[in-house]
Amino acid sequence: MNFKNKTAIVTGATRGIGQKIAEDLYDLGATLILTGADRDRIKRLRGNKRRKYYHLDFLEDESVSEFIETLEEYEKIDICINNAGINRINYIYDIMEEDWDRIMKVNLSGPFRLIKEAARIMKKKRYGRIVNIASIFGTITREKRAAYTASKSGLIGLTKTAALDLAPYNILVNSVSPGFILTDLTKRILSSKEREALRAAVPLKRLGRPRDISPVVLFLASDLNTYITGQNIIADGGYVNT
């Protein structure tokens, strides 16, 4: 795989899965537009000519508009990886409206706005690869996951329709659904006991790492992917079939 002469957006690239995707794209030659929601951290991260960091918080309209404006500085955008995402778990009768709205804004409306913007730019060159990071909880679910599952199922639906709308412009749109990946997000949500139980339940007998997900995303975002569009690829060590 080679990403020389490709310009790629990766949202939520400051840690976890997004950080690994960004590192791998960088190593393979891409020019990167990377985002994170923590303003101070973005200021501290030093970019270079081929790797620029921008503040993007889907909960702040102004931040989204500013980010979209900065995209005008780029001659083209070839790849857009919608990776940023959040999770709060709670029983449906306890979910606060505010949490529901936040999850929808970050996990679903954010990708929608970026896909729309990226597609506008990609259409001009009649080339694009969009990969949305969904979740196994967009396909299956568990208790306390109503908001997260609704957002990720929505993202998978958005992927399928965007793939149809953008196919005439040679823009391929897919989603990747990770299983349980050890990142800050999982550490925040799952106790060590819960993580241990999940490890035992996964057929491959281990939790995933960001490097289990990145190659799948890179393939779908690369020129090697010439005919897959509108698909959701599950990378979960076999968990959804148990």
Closest contact distance (angstroms) between CB of 71 and ligand NAI is 15
Tell whether residue 159 is a contact of ligand NAI (CB under 6 A): no
Residue with tokens 């709205």: 101
169: left (phi over 0), alpha (psi -120 to 50) or beta: alpha
| HEC sequence for 161-180 | HHHHHHHHHCEEEEEEEECC
Tell whether residue 62 is a contact of ligand NAI (CB under 6 A): no
Tell whether residue 12 is a contact of ligand NAI (CB under 6 A): yes
Nearest-angstrom CA–CA distance, 225 and 210: 21
Residue with tokens 């959804």: 240
> Residue 24: which of 178, 211, 209 has the closest Cα?
211
For the chain, how far is it from start to end, CA to CA, in angstroms? 33
Binding residues for ligand NAI, rule CB under 6 A, total 29
Question: Of 17, 33, 131, 162, which one interacts with ligand NAI (CB under 6 A)?
Answer: 17
Tell whether residue 16 is a contact of ligand NAI (CB under 6 A): yes
Nearest-angstrom CA–CA distance, 59 and 5: 32
Q: Can you tell me whether residue 33 is helix, strand or coil?
A: strand
Question: Of 185, 202, 228, 233, which one interacts with ligand NAI (CB under 6 A)?
Answer: 185
Tell whether residue 56 is a contact of ligand NAI (CB under 6 A): yes
Q: Which is nearer to ligand NAI, 147 or 172 (CB)?
A: 147
Tell whether residue 186 is a contact of ligand NAI (CB under 6 A): yes
Q: Which of 54, 148, 169, 239 is catalytic?
A: 148
Interacting span for ligand NAI (CB under 6 A) from 30-38, 73-81, 139-147, 167-175: 30-38
Tell whether residue 15 is a contact of ligand NAI (CB under 6 A): yes
DSSP string, 73-111: GSS---EEEE---------TTT--HHHHHHHHIIIIIHH
Residue type, 95: I
Q: Which of residues 34-53 bind ligand NAI (CB under 6 A)?
A: 36-38
Q: Look up 227 and say whether it is catalytic.
A: no
126: left (phi over 0), alpha (psi -120 to 50) or beta: left
Closest contact distance (angstroms) between CB of 133 and ligand NAI is 4
Q: Which is nearer to ligand NAI, 135 or 222 (CB)?
A: 135
Tell whether residue 133 is a contact of ligand NAI (CB under 6 A): yes
Give contact residues for ligand NAI (rule: CB under 6 A).
Answer: 11-12, 14-18, 36-38, 56-59, 83-87, 106, 133, 135, 178, 180-181, 183-186
As annotated, the active-site residues are 148
